């Protein structure tokens, strides 16, 4: 096994981007301030106060609406050149539609973005990180084909408002997590549990909305604003449980196609992967449906989708071992049942903070290679890792996070230098402890600790903040830095 000691033999080039990320609902708070409309997360958690693990919501969160200047100072402390943030759609358009733009929302983001520019930090702005305006949720959210137009209208408003200073955009954050957990299960709001149909409708219209916003930017804004626009997709690495078993290898491939290919293939090649098309069509037919549960794109839509991202935004946290498994494990119909694999994690992979999360750094390198081979090289683009980080239960001496960042960043260096994967940047999740969706405030991903009992939401750097700062500064990984047991780290 690889020894993680001493100084890394590879370094990050000067033009390599280092950033940190947050998202609007997870940090802003001020849920009803200044005429902000409700997002579907606001509405859902007010209606179901016990939905989250600790009965919390993000009405206040880290109160970044009021504390944004401090956030910018923290990013400066880290030396990070980029900040990935998202806009709250209902803060800008309280009802979701563009007939009324909130002055307060307009001003808030202008102030925040200008504060970043003043500090020499480049904003990377996501249009949609899950906080849909609730009035649009009432109309079916992403299952409604009309959402494609409403998203385009929203995109036009924000390109007009901020395109002078925002040069890196992403449309959607992790559509897979959003559609699968929110529309196909109950794990995320809106908890529709419309398994087998809802997650595919959501996928379909989110893809079209993304592509429409891309074409809009390309045609009307890029000529004068000269920015880049992409999308952020998430993926676990799928490893065959038993590498010598053909069934397990097929299972791992099926998983990657059904979860990542289903988005990446339309965006880079115009349509769903053949495997996904056939699998869902066949399952639907067997189950007595007249039409496939996965909608079809028209030829015009295929053209609109094809090549609709200037870079590949990739979020990655953890890996799973895959093996085929019979349907009794899953609800029918469902995306899980269609995929037909069972997931587990190797007992030797440590689990620092949540059931779903275990540490397997080599999986990151393998995923970077998969993405590079399938989508990046062919399209002559590059990867920006838009999220990666570790969850634990809190504490300032976060040695597990330190070890995680060192090892995952080292695997990135191996992918870049040994495998020639084209990687332009890396964004750590997250700047500070935030509202962690259904986990509430119980699991922590932050480089800064946030005291959620203090009215000021006091921020304190963890040891991992020091480490990240050092990596950004030296452009190298020193495995012995801030390591209580440096010589004993093994993969
Ligand atoms: C990303 O989502 C998000 O972009 C970000 O907002 C979030 O804070 C961050 O990662 C950390 O979670 O298998 O039923 O146990 C990742 C979403 C949600 C993925 C939970 C894994 C496990 C669900 N994650 N999910 S389950």
pLDDT tens column, 479-490: 999 988 654 444
- 450-477 residue pLDDT tens: 999 999 999 999 999 999 999 999 999 9
Cβ atoms of 433 and 27 within 8 Å: the answer is no
Dist. CA 177 → ligand 1 center (Å): 7
Please say if 174 is a catalytic residue. yes
Mean pLDDT of the region 7-14 = 96
Instruction: Establish whether residue 337 lines the binding site of ligand 1, counting it when its CB lies within 6 angstroms of any ligand atom.
Output: no
Of 152, 239, 301, 387, catalytic: 387
Both tokens assigned to 291: 């039409």
pLDDT at 491: 40
445 in ligand 1 pocket by Cβ < 6 Å?
A: yes
DSSP string over 183-249: IISSSSTT----TTTHHHHHHHHHHHHHHHHHHHIIIIIHHHH--EEEEEEE--EEEESSTT-HHHH
Q: How confident is the model at residue 3 (pLDDT cuts 50, 70, 90)?
A: confident
For a pLDDT cut of 90, what percent of the chain falls above it? 96
> Which residue out of 131, 237, 356 has the highest number of ligand 1 atoms within 8 Å of its CB and is therefore the one to mutate?
356
Residue 359: CB atoms within 10 Å: 21
Any ligand 1 atom below 6 A from CB of 174: yes
Whether the predicted pLDDT of 120 surpasses 80: yes
Q: Is 186 in the pocket of ligand 1 (CB under 6 A)?
A: no
**CA 121 / ligand 1 centre spacing (Å):** 26
Instruction: Check if 25 has its Cβ closer than 6 Å to any atom of ligand 1.
Output: no
Is-cis flag, bond preceding 430, omega within 30? Answer: yes
Q: What is the pLDDT of residue 485?
A: 64
Using alpha carbons, select from 6, 28, 10 the residue that is nearest to residue 365: 10
User: In this predicted model, what pLDDT tens digit does every residue of 472-481 receive, in sequence order?
Assistant: 999 999 999 9
pLDDT at 1: 54
- 5: helix, coil or strand? coil
8 Å CB contact between 131 and 190: no
Query: What letter does residue 259 receive in the DSSP assignment?
Result: I
Ligand 1, atom 25, residue with closest C-alpha? 356
What spacing in Å lies between the alpha carbon of 120 and ligand 1's midpoint?
30
Question: What pLDDT digit, counting tens, does each position of 355-371 carry?
Answer: 999 999 999 999 999 99
Integer angstrom CA distances of residue 226 from 159, 168, 327: 12, 9, 49
Q: Are 25 and 130 in contact (CB under 8 A)?
A: yes
- Which of 174, 199, 239, 301 is catalytic? The answer is 174
Residue nearest to ligand 1 atom 19, measured at CA: 177
**Known active-site residue 387:** yes
Strand, helix or coil at 125?
strand
State the average pLDDT over residues 195-201: 98
pLDDT tens-digit readout, 225-266? 999 999 999 999 999 999 999 999 999 999 999 999 999 999
Q: Dihedral of CA 435/438/440/443: which sign?
A: negative
Regarding the beta carbon of 429 and ligand 1, being less than 6 Å apart is answered yes
* Contact (Cβ atoms closer than 8 angstroms) between residue 398 and residue 462: yes
Query: Is 433 close to ligand 1, i.e. is its CB under 6 Å away?
Result: no
Q: Output the pLDDT for position 426.
A: 99
Residues 6+ apart with CB under 8 A from 367: 235, 236, 237, 314, 316, 319
Tell me the three-class secondary structure of 44-72, residue by residue. HHHHCCCCCCCCCCCCCCCCHHHHHHHHH
Which atom of ligand 1 has the smallest separation from the CA of 391?
11
- Average pLDDT of span 194-217: 99
DSSP codes joined into one string, 277-302: HHHHHHHHHHTT-SS-SSPPPPHHHH
Residue 328, pLDDT score: 72
DSSP per-residue string spanning 412-451: HHHHHHTS---EEEEEEE-SB----GGGTTSSB--SEEE-
Supply the DSSP string of 210-223, one letter for each residue: HHHHHHHIIIIIHH
């Amino acid at each position: 096994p690889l020894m993680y000691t001493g100084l890394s033999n590879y370094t990050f080039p000067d033009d390599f981007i280092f950033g940190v990320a947050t998202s609007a609902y997870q940090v802003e708070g001020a849920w009803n301030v200044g005429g902000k409309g409700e997002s579907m997360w606001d509405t859902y958690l007010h209606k179901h106060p016990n939905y989250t693990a600790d009965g919390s919501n993000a009405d206040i969160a880290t109160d970044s609406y009021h504390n944004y200047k401090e956030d910018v100072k923290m990013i400066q402390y880290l030396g990070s050149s980029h900040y990935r943030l998202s806009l709250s759609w209902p803060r800008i358009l309280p009802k979701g539609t563009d007939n009324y733009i909130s002055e307060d929302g307009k001003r808030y983001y202008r102030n925040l973005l200008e504060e970043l520019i003043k500090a020499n930090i480049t904003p990377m702005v996501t249009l949609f990180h899950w906080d849909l305006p609730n009035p649009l949720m009432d109309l079916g959210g992403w299952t409604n084909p009309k959402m494609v137009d409403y998203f385009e209208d929203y995109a036009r408003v924000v390109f007009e408002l901020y395109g002078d200073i925002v040069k890196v955009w992403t449309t959607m954050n992790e559509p897979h997590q959003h559609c699968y957990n929110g529309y196909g299960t109950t794990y995320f709001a809106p908890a529709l549990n419309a398994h087998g149909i809802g997650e595919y409708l959501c996928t379909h219209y989110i893809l079209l909305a993304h592509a429409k916003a891309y074409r809009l930017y390309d045609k009307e804004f890029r000529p004068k604003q000269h920015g880049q626009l992409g999308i952020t997709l998430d993926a676990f690495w799928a490893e065959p449980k038993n590498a010598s078993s053909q069934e397990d290898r097929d299972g791992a491939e099926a998983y990657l196609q059904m979860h990542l290919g289903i988005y990446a293939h339309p965006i880079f090649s115009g349509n769903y992967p053949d495997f996904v098309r056939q699998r869902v069509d066949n399952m639907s037919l067997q189950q007595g449906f007249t039409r496939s549960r996965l909608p079809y794109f028209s030829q015009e839509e295929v053209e609109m989708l094809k090549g609709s991202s200037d870079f590949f935004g990739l979020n990655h946290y953890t890996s799973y071992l895959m093996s085929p498994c019979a349907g009794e494990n899953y609800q029918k119909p469902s995306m899980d049942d269609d995929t037909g694999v069972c997931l587990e994690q190797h007992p030797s992979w440590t689990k620092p903070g949540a059931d779903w999360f275990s540490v397997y750094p080599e999986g990151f390198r393998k995923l970077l290679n998969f993405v590079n081979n399938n989508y990046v090289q062919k399209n002559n683009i590059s990867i920006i890792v838009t999220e990666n980080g570790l969850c634990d239960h809190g504490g300032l001496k976060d040695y597990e996070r330190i070890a995680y960042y060192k090892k995952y960043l080292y695997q990135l260096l191996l992918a870049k230098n040994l495998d020639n994967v084209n990687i332009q940047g890396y964004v750590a999740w997250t700047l500070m402890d935030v509202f962690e969706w259904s986990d509430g405030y119980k699991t922590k991903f932050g480089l800064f600790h946030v005291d959620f009992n203090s009215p000021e939401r006091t921020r304190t750097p963890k040891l991992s903040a020091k480490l990240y700062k050092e990596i950004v500064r030296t452009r190298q990984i020193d495995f012995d830095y801030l390591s209580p047991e440096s010589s004993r780290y093994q993969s």
